[in-house]
Structures are given as C-alpha cells and as structure tokens.
C-alpha cells in the first residue's frame, strides 16, 4: 500500500448567456448638471463584482474618472429590464447594455461640446473628464462644463439608453441549420490537477490546480481571479466531496442537515496557479467574454484524469470519493474509445443524467466526449 502522485488535464469551453432572444439586458445613463454620471441597470451583484465592472465600462466609455459614476442597480421600479445574474452573462450582456447606453450619452456630450467649442464632433475626443480637440490640446472643455451647458444653455438632459439582446436565429426548416452563433460568446479554459492518491484508503488529495482561462478581456483582473479561486473551491467539492444523494435514487445516507453535507473548506484548498489569457471577443464590452459559471467545471475531470495517472484506474462518477476510488481499483475499470464515445465494458454506475452519458443496448456505460 502506498501513496501515488498523478497529474491530469481537462479543457472546457463555456457559453455566455442564453440564446433565441432569451435574456435581454437594458441600461440607462444620464449626466447630472455637474457632469457626474448616474447609471441605472438591473444586473444583480451577488458578489461577482458586476457593479464594479459595469462602473468601469461606463467610465471608460464616457472618458470620465471611475469615481464620477454612480451605479444604481437597487430598484426594480426604476431600473430597466435585466433578466438576471445567471449564465455567466453579467459582464458580456449586462456590460454591453451599459456600454451601449454610455456610447449614446457620449455622442450627446460630443455634440454639446461641439457647439460650445465650435468644432466638429468628429474632431473631438474625450479623455480624463475633458473634451479635447484632436491635435489642439489647448482647445478643450471639461465634461462638467458640457453638462452644465446642456442643462442651462441648451435645455437638454444628456442621456443614453442601451439594450443588449441576442435575436432569434432563423432556422432552416429542412436542415435545421442556423446562421448566427447560438451564444453571445464562448470562453475557454484548461485545468491541470496534481493529486496524491492513497491506494489503501482511497483518499484523494488535490495538491495543486493550474488553471488557465481565456476570458476575452479581463476588465477587472482581480475580480476575475477571485472568481477563478472561488470556482476552484466549488470544483474541488464537485470533484471529491459533494453528493446530496450518495446512493441516488436511494435516499440512504442522504445528509439530514446542512452540517452533514461534505464540501471543502479553506483547509482543503490546494495551491492555486491562475493564468488569464486575453483573446478578445469582437462583440464583448472592451473584448470581454465571461468567467462566472465556467470556473467550477474543469476541476472534476482534471482530478479524475490525475487519479488515473496516479493509480491507473478511472473513477467514472464524481465525486471521486474514497469508496469509488477503492471500487475502481478493485475492478480495474478501463474504458475503450470508439470515436466520440468512451465505453466502459464493466457494469459500472454511469448514470444517464444527460444525453451525453448513459448505457447502450448491451448495458455498457458510455460518455460522449469532445475530440
């Protein structure tokens, strides 16, 4: 009996938002007479940091300092429609809504400034809270003065609205083909897990997770990394511990209280090495795609792959509990591959929880995998 080291990798792709016009987000931006900016949007910040990111997007789009922008997402009576914080859509779709609104407000800022400076709007640019003539930096007006002029001279409220919306895809009746992407963006990630497996107790210890995420553009890298760290803990739980019904559909050994539900604590946190790759989305706000839900998907398969590297057997159902590891060792379960199918000849407990897994006519378990 011994402890064995192993390393495994998993790669994933993860879509952003819903499709078929399922999840619009809208926003409204207005300037106060002193140039400070109010943003009304409905995206709920449940800790992911969308208030901060949306504020950054508006500030950078308008060309004003971050602390000039007040983000109000607190009132469903006054906020425009947002279908919610789900599907990893907060930055891409909610962020696009505030970006579009800020772009329209920016156009009005430039137009008012054009009248004040008597310069064509196309020859103006905005930076650090000032509208400046291109090539003539001494010809300028502050956005505060532009907002004041709009209010007291031109009788205008500088404002803009924006709506991010994924339209219906036209479906060919004969072939089922569509001509637009089903999702707003797709993020990509790879996770390498390094584990130690005790072949006597079946216990798996994840020692390190190397996680590489392409998020398009990390508008706020600290928040992105925070989600990667949080996702690692969730993925660790899914990979090793969490099972509400360990013998589903039997309710035997179901936890009777929250305290009996196993999930990782900081004591279980492995060494984390996070890498952010920026491959900008052409449609995302400042190139952003998404992080969100994808952050807890790659760890379980990477852990199972690492277990195989360590002890030579596949644990085919998560979480990889000591019981399952020992059972796999006893059965020496070895899958074989047939195209996109990974087939397990043994009558093992692959449960058909989705269209990508189940049992074939001969009772063999299979999983569909991407090539």
> What is 72-121 written as a DSSP string?
E---TTTSPPB--S-TT-IIIIIHHHHHHHHHHHHHHHHHHHHHHHT--G
In this structure, the strands spanning 335-338 and 341-344 are antiparallel
210 is a contact residue toward another protein (CB under 8 A)? yes
State which H helix or E strand residue 57 sits in: helix 50-62
Q: Which of 164, 156, 160, 157 is CA-nearest to residue 28?
A: 160
Instruction: Tokens 């692959």: give the residue.
Output: 350
343 is a contact residue toward another protein (CB under 8 A)? no
318 is a contact residue toward another protein (CB under 8 A)? no
Beta bridge partners of 186: 15
User: Is there a contact between 23 and 182 (Cβ–Cβ < 8 Å)?
Assistant: no
Token pair in block for residue 114: 């054009």
Report the distance separating Cα 273 and Cα 296, nearest Å. 15
Handedness of CA 343, 348, 354, 355 (dihedral sign): positive
x-or-dash pattern for another protein, window 7-36, by CB under 8 A? x-x-x-x-----------------------
293 part of the active site: yes
286 is a contact residue toward another protein (CB under 8 A)? no
x-or-dash pattern for another protein, window 94-123, by CB under 8 A? ------------------------------
353 is a contact residue toward another protein (CB under 8 A)? no
174 is a contact residue toward another protein (CB under 8 A)? no
Nearest CB to another protein, comparing residues 12 and 262: 12
Nearest CB to another protein, comparing residues 188 and 314: 188
367 is a contact residue toward another protein (CB under 8 A)? no
How far is residue 62 CA from its own chain's centroid? 25
Of 176, 256, 339, 363, the one binding another protein (CB under 8 A) is: 339
Beta bridge partners of 133: 124, 136
213 is a contact residue toward another protein (CB under 8 A)? yes
State which H helix or E strand residue 281 sits in: none
How far is residue 191 CA from its own chain's centroid? 15
Report the distance separating Cα 42 and Cα 65, nearest Å. 22
x-or-dash pattern for another protein, window 254-273, by CB under 8 A? -------------------x
Nearest CB to another protein, comparing residues 169 and 241: 169
Active-site residue among 130, 194, 293, 317?
293
Of 177, 251, 353, 369, the one binding another protein (CB under 8 A) is: 177
CB of residue 165 to another protein, shortest distance in Å = 18
- Binding region for another protein (CB under 8 A) out of 82-90, 151-159, 179-187, 328-336: 179-187
Question: What is the binding site for another protein (CB under 8 A)?
Answer: 7, 9, 11, 13, 177-182, 185-186, 188-192, 194, 210-214, 216, 273, 275, 277, 279-282, 289, 339-340, 371
Instruction: Report the catalytic residues.
Output: 293
């Amino acid at each position: 009996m011994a402890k064995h080291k192993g390393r495994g990798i998993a790669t994933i792709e993860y879509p952003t938002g819903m499709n078929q016009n399922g999840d619009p987000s809208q926003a409204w931006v207005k300037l106060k007479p002193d140039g400070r900016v109010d943003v009304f949007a409905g995206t709920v910040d449940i800790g992911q940091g969308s208030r901060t990111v949306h504020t950054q997007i508006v500030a950078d789009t308008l060309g004003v300092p971050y602390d000039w922008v007040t983000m109000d997402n607190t009132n469903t009576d006054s906020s425009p429609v947002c279908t919610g914080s789900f599907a990893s859509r907060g930055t891409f779709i909610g962020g696009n809504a505030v970006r579009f609104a800020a772009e329209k407000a920016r156009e009005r800022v430039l137009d008012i400034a054009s009248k004040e400076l008597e310069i064509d709007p196309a020859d103006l640019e905005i930076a650090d809270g000032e509208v400046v003539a291109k090539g003539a930096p001494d010809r300028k007006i502050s956005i505060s003065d532009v907002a004041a002029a709009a209010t007291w001279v031109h009788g205008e409220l500088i404002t803009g609205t924006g709506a991010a919306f994924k339209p219906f895809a036209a479906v060919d009746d004969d072939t089922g083909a569509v001509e637009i992407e089903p999702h707003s963006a797709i993020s990509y990630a790879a996770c390498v897990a390094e584990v130690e497996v005790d072949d006597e107790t079946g216990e798996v210890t994840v020692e390190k997770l190397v996680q590489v995420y392409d998020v398009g553009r990390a508008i706020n890298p600290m928040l992105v990394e925070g989600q990667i760290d949080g996702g690692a803990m969730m993925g660790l739980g899914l990979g090793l511990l969490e099972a509400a019904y360990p013998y589903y559909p039997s309710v035997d050994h179901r936890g009777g209280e929250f305290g009996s539900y196993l999930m990782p604590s900081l004591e279980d946190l492995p060494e984390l090495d996070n890498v952010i790759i920026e491959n900008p989305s052409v449609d995302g706000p400042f190139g952003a795609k998404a992080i969100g839900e994808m952050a807890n998907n790659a760890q379980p398969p990477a852990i199972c792959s690492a277990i195989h590297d360590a002890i030579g057997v596949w644990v085919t159902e998560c979480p990889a509990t000591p019981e399952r590891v020992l059972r796999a060792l006893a059965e020496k379960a070895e899958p074989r591959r047939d195209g996109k199918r990974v087939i397990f000849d043994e009558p093992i407990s692959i449960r058909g929880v989705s269209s990508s897994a189940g049992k074939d006519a001969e009772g063999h378990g299979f999983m569909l995998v991407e090539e």
